A and B are shown apart, each in its own frame.
Chain A
Amino acid sequence: MESGFFSCVCDSESNSATVRLKGEIDHHSASVLRRELDALICRLRPQKLMIDLSGVDFMDSSGLGLIMGRYTLLDSFGGETVLLNPTDRIRRILDLAGFGRICKVEIVKKNRKDGEKNAES
């Protein structure tokens, strides 16, 4: 799935979804992102939601609210939220809110295996 704000790759075998956010996350864009992400989450109900932040050029505390809200939603049906590849800037904001202790933060190298397991959704 592709939208103006993120792209999503799902793995039905492990019931996980990776959303790659892009652009700037502020209060304005967060409200749209929230709507679209929640529609996706409610449809897929993934056991693991990975939010890839490497393509995010700007994020303020509205982004924290967005991530916190998705974490709570996933948690409500026993799902796990993992943050992938935050830039140093974003890491700084995440750490201000003590986020590293709530969400798992992982740095993974990009390996594009398009068309292998990536179910188009």
Chain B
Amino acid sequence: MNMKTMEPIGRPRAFLTVFLKEVKENLRDRRTIISAFVTGPLLGPLMLVMLLNITLNRQFDKAEKPLPVPVIGAEQAPNLMRALKAEGIVPKPPIANPEAAVRKQDADVVLRISPDYASAWRKGEAVQVEMIFDSSQRDADAAVDRVSQIVETFAREQGAMRLVARGLSPSTAWPVVAAKRDQATAQARAALMFSILPYFFVLTVFMGGMYLAIDLTAGERERQSLEPLFSNPVPRWKILAGKLAAICTFATASLLISLLAFGVVGPFIPTEKLGMELDLGPRFAGQVLVLMVPLIALLAALQSMVAAFAKSYREAQTYLSLLLFVPALPSILLSTMPIKSQDWMYAVPLLGQHLGIMQLLRGDGVTLQQAGLCLAGSLAAALVGVLATARLYQSERLAISG
């Protein structure tokens, strides 16, 4: 080595150096890779498809398939049996203890026809048909609805025939008819089921940057590399900027993978069975990305800030898992409390993204004003978060490991 005095060399590369090193280092960490590129982004789409497929297919299977229903006293009511059979119900032999059977889910519903059905029918009196079921068994709902509709329709038809036979118009008995006119568009109906989707996106962004954010402060401190790092002739804010950029890059990559996965699995969601439309294509993905960009920066800053308070990697992990519940709040609130969305809500970070993505899912689109509010609000919050983190990063105590 020579001893000639070195002139300081300009260092516009400090930011890039930190950024590239963080990316390279984290790409070598299996835990980060799995969290950012596999579990984080793919869990959402997979869960959604599986859940929807199971619930939808069950409902539809039951509606279309022949439904076996044990009937007690079938011989009393051959006319009702014919009506049931015509609608795909398969009467089964009676069972001894119908109450226990439905509770044990041996049968979804059991019909009990009263023993005096035949004689009452002949006299033109009202007769009773009991439906025994257990409403706490979700599976039974479709079967119960189906059987009760058939029975009611049969009753109304027979009633109408009796009135006609007595020379009266059937409308005498039904002076008011309620007609349902559902204004929900196909997309809107789907959106209700997909209200959890915005949370998946936020979760993905969160998981994508999480391990990097921990590493940024708590990790560096734990492995005692922050002090040597700060002894380099680079202002701390540049180091922070490089690291935040790395977090944002991983988070964005996670989000992109997630959007891609939703685009791929979208066609496998059996929405057409419900007469719904759901467009998770490139247009949707692009718009979601725009809405989410400021949130990526905000979450990166928040995660780094929270991790900076932790003394160790483990502690940081605990804090961050608690922080993970915060983005869930708007989704949970909105799905339990049907609040009418106001424009100002778009300016609230997280809430704005949730509302915006829901609008996109509904197929209504987001107005420029709403998108502007959403971006401005989240960007402002992100800026505050980054500045607060930068301030924290300046603190003398931060670098001291011991």
A pairs with B: no
Residues of A within 8 A of B (CB): none
